[in-house]
């Protein structure tokens, strides 16, 4: 496994639509492992393949004790509305408010080629929506209002929150 470099806003790969995965190969499994490691090392809660330079429809999301590897994910249902203050590993130093669904159902394939459905609510619905947007070449700042710099205090609060979620996931 290895850490991947996070692509930053301005990199054209972040604005392109990712291609479906046709076959789960050893390279895809390695990519999943590398994405998970990269996400954990950056204290993230989610990461999409374009963020590490791969135009594949793959995302990795973690929440408390749940870990999701999503291959060819698709939102099958969305309802409600919530305003989420978001930031992104690929957008340095900015946050903004984004209108996201409060409930989502996502269908995807796992690393074993098995199809599954996950239902996400509240914060996790925003995480799934955010990561799946990456697969369509959409960054949160494309949808956000009230975009502003993240000050040191906010950055530290976000870092503590991510670390707490990661500890919960590992305990």
Q: Name the residues annotated as catalytic.
A: 131
**Residue 92 CA: distances (Å) to CA of 40, 47, 53, 59, 87:** 17, 15, 17, 20, 8
Token digits of residue 14: 């972040």
**Rounded to whole angstroms, how far apart are CA atoms 11 and 6?**
10
Q: Residue 38: exposed, middle, or buried by beta-carbon count in 10 A (0-12, 13-18, 19+)?
A: buried
Q: What is the DSSP letter of 64?
A: T
């Amino acid at each position: 496994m290895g850490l991947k470099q996070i692509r930053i806003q301005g990199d054209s790969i972040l604005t392109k639509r990712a291609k479906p995965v046709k076959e789960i190969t050893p390279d895809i499994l390695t990519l999943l492992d590398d994405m998970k490691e990269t996400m954990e090392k950056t204290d993230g809660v989610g990461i999409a393949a374009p963020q590490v330079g791969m135009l594949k429809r793959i995302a990795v999301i973690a929440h408390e004790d749940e870990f999701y590897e999503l291959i060819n994910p698709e939102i099958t249902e969305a309802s409600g509305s919530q305003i989420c203050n978001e930031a992104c590993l690929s957008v340095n130093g900015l946050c903004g408010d984004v209108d996201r669904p409060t409930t989502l159902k996502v269908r995807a394939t796992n690393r074993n080629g098995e199809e599954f459905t996950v239902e996400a609510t509240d914060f996790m619905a925003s995480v799934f929506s955010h990561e799946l947007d990456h697969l369509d070449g959409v960054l949160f700042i494309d949808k956000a209002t009230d975009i502003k710099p993240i000050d040191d205090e906010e950055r530290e609060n976000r870092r503590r929150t991510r670390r707490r979620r990661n500890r919960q996931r590992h305990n």
